[in-house]
Amino acid sequence: MANFRQFRPDDLNKFSKCNLDPFTETYELGFYLQYHAKWPSLFQVAEDQHGNIIGYIMGKLESSPDYYKFSEHYLPWHAHITAVTVAPEARRLGIGKMLTEQLEAAADANDAWFVDLFVRSTNHKAIQFYKSMGYSIFRTVKDYYGDHSSDPTKSSEDAYDMRKPMKRDVKKEHIREDGEKFEVDPSDVW
C-alpha cells in the first residue's frame, strides 16, 4: 500500500527499505537537501503505512551553462531524473512509473524539451522500465561509472543517457534512433 507525497528531510530517517538495496546509491546529506531546496516538487516519495519510504524520485530542471551554448553537447531546458528507486517489496506495482509520470507532468508544466537520465548499461531491469515508458537511448557515455556493478574485474562501466521528449518537442528533435551507437566521453556530459 502506498501514499505519494513531496519529500521531507525527516524521510531520510526512513530510507532503509530503499537504500539498503545495493542498486540504490546513498548520498551525502547536502545532496538530498539541495534537491529539496531547489526543486521540492520534483522530489517525491511513496511511503507505506508505517511511514517507511518505499520509493522516491529526485529530479531537477536545468539547461547546460551558457558557455556551452555552442557545443554540440549543449542541453537545452529539460528535466533530469537524478535518482529513482522502489523498495524490492513494492516493485512491479507501478510505483516507479507513477513517480516518473509525476515528474514528467512537472517537466511539461515547466515547458521542458525532454526528460533525461543516466543508467548503467547493465541495469537491464531499469532500462526495461524506462523503455516501457517511452524513453530511448540518446547516447552512450563510455566509462561513465568508476566501478562495475556486476563484474568486479572491470574498473568502469558505460552509462546510457536516456531521453523522452516532452510536449514542447513537437517535432521530436531531441531524440534519435540508434542512440546507443552514439558514443561520447564523460567529459562531454555536464
Enumerate binding residues for another protein (CB under 8 A).
1-6, 8-10, 12-17, 19-22, 26-30, 32-34, 36-41, 48-50, 52, 88-95, 97-98, 101-102, 105
For residue 128, the partner it binds in ligand COA, another protein, none, with Cβ less than 5 to 8 A by kind, is ligand COA
Nearest approach in angstroms of CB 70 to ligand COA is: 30
Q: Report what 3 binds from ligand COA, another protein, none; CB cut-off 5-8 Å by kind.
A: another protein
The DSSP annotation for 39-56 comes to -GGGEEEEE-TTS-EEEE
Residue closer to another protein, measured from CB, 100 or 137 = 100
Q: Contact 113/146 with Cβ under 8 angstroms?
A: no
Contact assessment for residue 160 and residue 124, using Cβ atoms and an 8 Å cutoff: no
Residue 181 contact partner, candidates another protein, ligand COA, none, CB within 5 to 8 A by sort of partner: none
Q: Which does 49 bind (CB under 5 to 8 A by kind): another protein, ligand COA, none?
A: another protein
Residue burial 114-140, b: 16+ Cβ < 10 Å; e: rest: bbbbbbbbebeebbebbeeeebbbbbb
* Phi and psi, residue 88, nearest 5°: -50, -40
Minimum distance, C-beta of residue 24 to ligand COA, in the bound complex (Å):
5
Question: Would you say 115 or 119 has its CB closer to ligand COA?
Answer: 119
Give yes or no for a contact between 118 and 144, defined as CB atoms under 8 angstroms apart. Answer: yes
- Closest contact distance (angstroms) between CB of 170 and ligand COA is 26
Q: Which does 139 bind (CB under 5 to 8 A by kind): another protein, ligand COA, none?
A: none
Task: Give Dmax over CA atoms of the chain in angstroms.
Answer: 50
Q: Which residue is nearest to ligand COA (CB)?
A: 96
Burial label, 151 (beta-carbon count in 10 A; 0-12, 13-18, 19+): exposed
- Strand, helix or coil for residue 21: coil
What residues line the site for ligand COA (CB under 6 A)? 23-24, 84-86, 91-97, 117, 119, 123, 125-126, 128-129, 132
**Based on CB atoms, which residue is closest to another protein, 150 or 187?**
150
